[in-house]
Amino acid sequence: MVRTPVDETSVTGEIPRRADVVIVGAGSAGSVLADALSRDGTRSVLLLEQGSGWPDAAVRDLRTLPIGASSGFVTVHDAPPGQTVVRGRGLGGSSAINGGYFLRWHRDDFAGWPTGWGVDDVETAYRELDESGGPMSVYPFGEDDLGPAARAFERFWSTRVPVREVTDRWPIIGLNRVLGNNAHRLRTTSAEAFLRPALARSNLVVRTGIQVREILMAGQWATGLRATGLRATDLRATGSGGVDTDVACGEVILCAGTLGTAGILLRSIPEVIGTSGVLVAGEHREVLVGYRRRSADDPRPLLPTVVHTDDGIEIRCYSDDFQRYVTGSAGGSQVMGVCGMLHAGPARLSSASGGSVRVRFDDLDESAAAPLWATASDVVDMLASAEFDEVVEPDSISVDPVIRSSQHAFGSLPMGVRTDWLGGVVGVRGLRVVDGSILPSPGRSGPHATIMMMARRIGVALAAGH
Ligand SMILES: Cc1cc2nc3c(=O)[nH]c(=O)nc-3n(C[C@H](O)[C@H](O)[C@H](O)COP(=O)(O)OP(=O)(O)OC[C@H]3O[C@@H](n4cnc5c(N)ncnc54)[C@H](O)[C@@H]3O)c2cc1C
């Protein structure tokens, strides 16, 4: 196959003033959707991304989490004191900077989803992403990816809970070796898998460095949007905040991530939000158990193995260097995570300055908090067990008293309630949301694979004329 060469100039330049569909955000969902919708050459698709282009190999290295203040590929949101809330930006969005853990949700996590989301439909869409040799390069982490802690973790749990066959794609209640989306330890981003190949199509235009400020409305109809160029040349041209461009379109599809989409809606259509000025999302809340390890180890993928409990908790065995990315976490050089997946705690999203969003977490109620602390105590016992003798320094284990976030906020505009089964926003014509905002349930695993699966299914359904 002859592939048209694609370079940085393909994603910069003039913004068309009209398109059939404008997609906002080239992240996990937006890249998948842009591919699906531009397969029909008669539909013009414009994809606008605020970040600055293709993350290089240093950013995509799975052994690091490039989310520090100096990273050019994150948006830092307004977090509670002592905590950090970031999201990816640039082509690939959060898929370019995340942990590279690509587990499906459990089959029964889809029980409450609206009509159109039967398990067979879900399975087909997942398989298109995570089959061996598929576009996202999804494979179980291998023995080389496990450090001493992960090996001890698997030894400990394999005698106590069921163990999933590593070749199975559906997770189980028990020990789950994580499936990772990477090739030679470089994250396979949604943009590399879906956008780069589609860029050769003349009906798809991608523009980076463009922040969508607001949606333009005529009554209850979304007719277009206003975007601002964020490139240095634009800033020099105006001497201030960039150049505004209005784009008219038949449909706006927000794929800006739960926080980015909330920011745009808060700025432009307060009636979707309601009088409170706050959108409420779910968040997988996590307790960290820290310890000092006996000896240093090479950097490895950050989350190679987990246990899923029957009460909806994920016990995460992070690899050695996770702690340096987490503001104010427990003392010790390494952490295990205890995360409430099914009892997601509320996160309140409201406006903040400069395109970011203010995120505040409610205290968990007792029924959600108690199992987290009880499981953290089990993890302390695990770390003190014989299996960890060669890993953990004696008397170094401590439980972080703060319940933190997993950087997963989701479900602020759930399908079947505030959006229809294809993300169409209830009460507004010409506006769709396809990203983490529309997940209608929490799920026992991380959201990445499921958000991409959802975008894939919606893209295919829309392309088929639904
Ligand atoms: C540090 C971190 C680690 C994580 N690790 C994992 C993991 O290992 N496994 C897992 O399952 N989940 C993980 N997650 C969660 C998962 O990556 C996200 O839930 C998922 O990628 C979100 O996909 P999305 O399409 O909703 O949004 P995103 O992928 O975040 O894409 C949104 C895109 O929209 C752009 N955008 C936002 N606002 C605007 C605007 N106004 N104008 C133009 N563009 C805009 C953003 O720049 C971004 O590129 C992690 C998240 C983070 C932040």
- Between 52 and 250, whose confidence is greater? 250
Confidence of residue 70 (pLDDT cuts 50, 70, 90): confident
Q: What is the reported pLDDT for 376?
A: 98
Residue from 24, 52, 94 to probe ligand 1 pocket by mutation (most atoms less than 8 Å from CB): 94
Ligand 1 pocket residue status of 130, Cβ below 6 Å: no
Q: In the numeric block, which tokens belong to residue 163?
A: 């163990």
Ligand 1 pocket residue status of 260, Cβ below 6 Å: yes
Q: Which atom of ligand 1 is nearest to the CA of 436?
A: 26
394-452 pLDDT tens trace:
999 999 999 999 999 999 999 999 999 999 999 999 999 999 999 999 999 999 999 99
Side chain identity, residue 171: P
168-197 pLDDT tens trace:
999 999 999 999 999 999 999 999 999 999
Handedness of CA 330, 332, 334, 337 (dihedral sign): negative
Report CA(65)–ligand 1 centroid distance (Å): 13
Arithmetic mean of pLDDT over the chain: 91
Indicate if the pLDDT at residue 328 is higher than 50: no
Q: Which atom of ligand 1 is nearest to the CA of 445?
A: 11
Ligand 1 pocket residue status of 26, Cβ below 6 Å: yes
Indicate if the pLDDT at residue 242 is higher than 90: no
Q: What is the reported pLDDT for 390?
A: 95
Q: Which whole number is the average pLDDT over 73-84?
A: 92
For residue 389, with 0-12 CB atoms within 10 Å meaning exposed, 13-18 middle and 19 or more buried, which class applies? exposed
Q: What is the reported pLDDT for 1?
A: 38
If we measure between CA atoms, which residue out of 446, 397, 440 comes closest to residue 421?
A: 440
CB atoms within 10 A of CB 239: 6
Residue from 73, 84, 87, 95 to probe ligand 1 pocket by mutation (most atoms less than 8 Å from CB): 87
Ligand-binding site membership of 212 (annotated) = yes
Residues 6+ apart with CB under 8 A from 371: 311, 313, 340, 343
Report CA(137)–ligand 1 centroid distance (Å): 19
Q: What is the reported pLDDT for 43?
A: 97
Report CA(440)–ligand 1 centroid distance (Å): 17
Residue having the nearest C-alpha atom to atom 18 of ligand 1: 448
Report CA(99)–ligand 1 centroid distance (Å): 11
Q: How far apart are CA 393 and CA 395, in angstroms?
A: 6
Q: What is the reported pLDDT for 304?
A: 96
Ligand 1 pocket residue status of 29, Cβ below 6 Å: yes
Ligand 1 pocket residue status of 66, Cβ below 6 Å: no
What are the percentages of helix, strand and coil residues in the chain, rounded to 5? 30, 30, 45
Exposure on the CB side of residue 7, measured as CA atoms within 13 A: 2
Confidence of residue 277 (pLDDT cuts 50, 70, 90): confident
Q: Which residue has the tokens 């109620």?
A: 365
Report CA(142)–ligand 1 centroid distance (Å): 26
Report CA(230)–ligand 1 centroid distance (Å): 19
Q: What is the reported pLDDT for 99?
A: 93
Q: How far apart are CA 153 and CA 463, in angstroms?
A: 45
If we measure between CA atoms, which residue out of 413, 465, 459 comes closest to residue 440?
A: 413
Indicate if the pLDDT at residue 34 is higher than 70: yes
Q: How far is CA 448 from CA 41, 103, 189, 211, 408, in A?
A: 29, 8, 11, 23, 9
Q: pLDDT above 90 covers what percent of the chain? A: 79
Residue having the nearest C-alpha atom to atom 16 of ligand 1: 448
Ligand 1 pocket residue status of 255, Cβ below 6 Å: yes
Q: Which whole number is the average pLDDT over 195-222?
A: 95
Report CA(98)–ligand 1 centroid distance (Å): 8
Ligand 1 pocket residue status of 440, Cβ below 6 Å: no
Q: What is the reported pLDDT for 262?
A: 96
What domains can you pick out in the chain, each with its CATH number? Answer: 12-135+186-278+409-463 (3.50.50.60), 142-178+283-405 (3.30.560.10)
Report CA(364)–ligand 1 centroid distance (Å): 24
Q: What is the reported pLDDT for 276?
A: 84
Q: What is the reported pLDDT for 420?
A: 98
Q: What is the reported pLDDT for 321?
A: 55
Q: Which atom of ligand 1 is nearest to the CA of 437?
A: 26
Q: How far apart are CA 347 and CA 279, in angstroms?
A: 8
DSSP 104: P
128-171 pLDDT tens trace:
999 999 999 999 999 999 999 999 999 999 999 999 999 899 99
333-366 pLDDT tens trace:
789 999 999 998 899 999 988 778 999 999 999 9
Q: Which whole number is the average pLDDT over 99-119?
A: 96
Ligand 1 pocket residue status of 187, Cβ below 6 Å: no
Interface predicted TM-score (ipTM) over 0.90: yes
CB atoms within 10 A of CB 366: 8
Q: What is the reported pLDDT for 322?
A: 58
